[in-house]
Amino acid sequence: MRSSNRQYLVSVDHLRAYAAVLVLLCHGTQMISPFLRETPNSDPGGWLYTENPLGTLVLEGHTGVALFMVLSGFIFTIGTLGKDVHYGRFLGNRVLRIFPLYIALIILGVGAHKQGADLPAVVQSLAGLGNLPGSLNLGAVSKMWWAIAVELQFYLLFPLFSRMLTKHGPTALFKLLAAIAVLRTLVWASATGSINVNSMLYYSLAGRIDQFLLGMVAAWFFVHHRERFQGLLKVAVATTMITGAVWAFNQTHAFQEGHATRLLWVDVEGAMWSLVVLTYVATVSSTGLVSRGIAKVGEMSFSVYLLHYMIITALISRRWWFEPTGRPVVDAFITAIAAVLPIALAAAVVTYNGIERPFLRWRRAYLLPDQPKTAAEAPTPKTALVSPR
């Protein structure tokens, strides 16, 4: 069983690696290309577009954040479905996972950017409200911290959602998703002025909660019906679906123009990535050398995510990039692959092993002893295949 456990954890780490690389390539390409030459196929705000579906996965690689959030809901649910969670220990483990590197960056960032920091801002960011006005603004150092805030806010609610899923099944979460969608639509429709779409839907738990919940639903299906989602063809179909959806998102300029379709996109994006996670984890169980290498990147994905924006900014400020083709978008992508990614991985090796990993060893089991359950509530033995972490 322990071997099976490791295999499924490896596939989850693969997806973490893919998510981190997507975000890195998106920022690298979108940020570097305007500095090379006048960039074609961009809107007045500088956002890039392409008719190539695979290219849109790079240009809209921010979708990797949605994958991260689906994975959070998925992996926690796999380990806790059918069990009660010790709330304090669960939150303690989350603090040990996130705060060592986060606090180190806060200390260093405040030292370098005192003009963007005061005590209330520090307290707000530490309290998990870093995605709201008034939080720390430390330039490239804090650019990615909004996602930490959204994750922390979800962690506070997860034990409640987990209990709902255990007691009532996916129907309870679907009802919750429907209620949230109705409330979001009413807020949108009732706004008399312009809406900051990204503030409402992209940088906020109000827009991201769907993706966490859909990840939890995917975990329920994995536990109860895993064999129905196995097969490389099913993985390919799921991957094609998310690629097509992201292509359509890019073609409609949805990220920059704030169409009302963004209200639907949060669920489409979450559902598509949930299907990718479900089929991939159900199918891929390789533990070979390449597989372990990709999984290692996934283990360090938190460091990669937090550090890559600073690396891109540093390269741009020094005008360090590659121009082998003379095509700005292509050259920016090459720079992201050949410079940003290896530097980010090298830095992540240091920060993961020097800051993150020592604290990860302090985590404690947070599942309460099994209580007598009815037959309807009892999980299948497959629950043990992936442990929470």
Q: Where are the domains of the chain?
A: 2-365
**What integer pLDDT is reported at residue 7 of this predicted model?**
65
Average pLDDT over every residue of 157-165 = 95
Q: In sequence order, which ranges of 41-144 are alpha helices (DSSP H)?
A: 53-59, 63-80, 87-112, 119-126
pLDDT classification of 165: cutoffs 50, 70, 90 = very high
More confident residue, 380 or 235: 235
**What integer pLDDT is reported at residue 382 of this predicted model?**
36
A 10 A CB-CB count for 233 gives 10
**CA R_g for the chain:** 21
Query: Are 294 and 86 spatial neighbours (Cβ–Cβ below 8 Å)?
Result: no
**What integer pLDDT is reported at residue 6 of this predicted model?**
56
Query: Are 135 and 129 spatial neighbours (Cβ–Cβ below 8 Å)?
Result: yes
Query: Are 23 and 65 spatial neighbours (Cβ–Cβ below 8 Å)?
Result: yes
**Rounded Cα distance, 69 and 19, in Å:** 10
Burial class (CB in 10 A: 0-12, 13-18, 19+), 285: middle
Query: Are 6 and 287 spatial neighbours (Cβ–Cβ below 8 Å)?
Result: yes
Instruction: Assess whether pLDDT exceeds 90 at residue 1.
Output: no
Q: How far is the CA of 105 from the CAs of 111, 126, 145, 310, in angstroms?
A: 10, 12, 10, 11
Instruction: Assess whether pLDDT exceeds 80 at residue 374.
Output: no
**Rounded Cα distance, 334 and 317, in Å:** 18
More confident residue, 3 or 241: 241
Enter the tokens of residue 14. 């693969």
Compute, in degrees rounded to 10, the torsion defined by CA atoms 190, 192, 197, 199: -90
**What integer pLDDT is reported at residue 4 of this predicted model?**
47
Compute, in degrees rounded to 10, the torsion defined by CA atoms 351, 353, 356, 357: 170
**What integer pLDDT is reported at residue 41 of this predicted model?**
54
Burial class (CB in 10 A: 0-12, 13-18, 19+), 34: middle
Tens of pLDDT, residue by residue over 277-333, are 999 999 998 878 999 999 999 999 999 999 999 999 999 999 999 999 999 999 999
**Rounded Cα distance, 72 and 213, in Å:** 9
pTM comes to 0.91
Average pLDDT over every residue of 11-35 = 96
Burial class (CB in 10 A: 0-12, 13-18, 19+), 361: exposed
Instruction: Assess whether pLDDT exceeds 60 at residue 218.
Output: yes
Query: Are 295 and 288 spatial neighbours (Cβ–Cβ below 8 Å)?
Result: no
**What integer pLDDT is reported at residue 381 of this predicted model?**
36
**Rounded Cα distance, 160 and 313, in Å:** 40
Task: Name the 3-class secondary structure at 42.
Answer: strand
Q: Which residues pair with 367 in a beta bridge?
A: 85
More confident residue, 109 or 372: 109
**Rounded Cα distance, 211 and 266, in Å:** 7
**Rounded Cα distance, 98 and 94, in Å:** 6
